Amino acid sequence: MPFFDARPLSRRTPRGRLVLAASLATLLAACNMTGSAGAAQSGPGDPVETRPPNAPNQTPAFEGQTRAPGVTTEATLSHTVVAEGLSHPWGLALLPDGNWLVTERPGRLRIITADGQVGEPIAGLPAVDARGQGGLLDVILGPDFSSDRRIYWSYAEPREGGNATSVARGVLSDDGTRVDNVEVIFRALPTYDGDKHFGSSLAFALDGTLFITLGERSDARMRPQAQDLGSHMGKTIRINADGSVPEDNPFVGREGALPEIWSLGHRNVQGIAVAPDGQVWTVEHGTRGGDEINLDRAGLNYGWPEVAYGIEYRGGEINEGITQKEGTEQPVYYWDPVIAPGGMTFYDGAMFPGWQGNLLVAGLKERHIARLVIEGDRVVGEERLLTDLGDRIRDVAVGPDGAVWAITDEDNGKLVRLFTP
């Protein structure tokens, strides 16, 4: 069994006073919407986004690319804060026993039980650079976790001359207290002395290859590297589980191209999900406008910084306001104004049958989960969930019973369960 601090809260150190909130469930539960549990969603209505866009002169490339019709879940939705006291949790992964692996950006990985017991930090992880947006980022289970107990995580790695995103793997001990046999299987290049846009989300494809999303490091002089095949910055990466390069990657053998690259032209991708049909979907941050949902396909160019929706943070056009260009892909969906998306997942569960196949996207700035109804490769409906929590939603996952779980990126970070009573 994993080790948990069983001392009374009054006897724990300040760092150890992670509130185990399961006993407060009835006080912390809050209702989002009302209706008949399990019923189908209501028909499309007006878009949920009512604020004016930052770039009012830009027009979508096709109908429904932004401001999809609003939909409403006809079910009673409640949420419970299961645990709190976490320091900026970033990644969330479900263990086979129903407990959760949760990363904290300062560099800690913990097990939190489904009833809110928060474990001590797991030993054995390498140091992280936790400045700015850096630190310990995503965590996922390996495809053979049940037999080898291997986990994978991404982090901002301190290096000589700066830092960059790296991915490591190791074996989680049977008692959940440490990770052994740690090895770094990917290091993004070049190293850069900055504190923004590390990405980074992880997902295993149906064929067992590992996808890694990366940012372009934000600063103006780094932006062009999103278009440079000799740099990992602003790319989606595909490697084998041991860090080797799949022979069918799109740029293998191309002179001057890094063979790990799957796609290019991204800004800061912090969410990735593999659909049941095997297609890879990613979500990335825009500036003031231009958060994007993309169907992330081999060898394609998603435009940044040459093509973008929205405007600069300081105001003014991005690259003369160009939103379409030959040789670049359009996003499936974009938000203007932004929601600042974190992690995402496809819904697959019994609790909300009307959500099957929907895309759930964590929203940081707008403090909600966006439920996107997908038909083919288009978004045809949007709903905002967990709006009454009032916290920045960093990552989202689906539990064994179909309830939705989320973590909040706050000084007092929370693990939250969204369910129908």
- So which residues are the catalytic ones? 197
How would you classify the pairing of strands 78-86 and 69-70? unpaired
Q: Strand order of the sheet with strand 30-31?
A: 30-31, 78-86, 413-419, 404-408, 393-398
Q: 315 exposed, middle or buried (CB, 10 Å; 0-12, 13-18, 19+)? A: exposed
Tally of residues, the chain: 421
> Are the C-beta atoms of 146 and 168 separated by less than 8 Å?
no
252-269 burial, b if ≥16 CB within 10 A, otherwise e?
A: eeeeebbbbbbbbbbbbb
How far is it, in rounded angstroms, from Cα 258 to Cα 189?
Answer: 10
Question: Which residue type occupies 20?
Answer: L
What's the CA dihedral at 80, 86, 91, 95 to 10 degrees? -70
| DSSP-derived secondary structure letter, 340 | -
Q: Please give the biggest Cα pair distance in the chain.
A: 63
How far is it, in rounded angstroms, from Cα 300 to Cα 229?
Answer: 12
* Residue 219, CB-side half-sphere exposure with 13 Å CA sphere: 7
The residues, ordered by sequence, that sit 6+ positions from 50 with a Cβ below 8 Å of its Cβ are none
How remote is the C-alpha of 120 from its chain's centroid?
Answer: 24
The count of other CB atoms within 10 Å of the CB of residue 94 is 17
Residue among 140, 32, 3 nearest 371 (CA)? 32
Question: Which residue type occupies 303?
Answer: G
> Are the C-beta atoms of 372 and 359 separated by less than 8 Å?
yes
> Are the C-beta atoms of 217 and 261 separated by less than 8 Å?
no
The structure tokens 């998306």 sit at 341
* Residue 420, CB-side half-sphere exposure with 13 Å CA sphere: 20
How far is it, in rounded angstroms, from Cα 217 to Cα 198?
Answer: 6
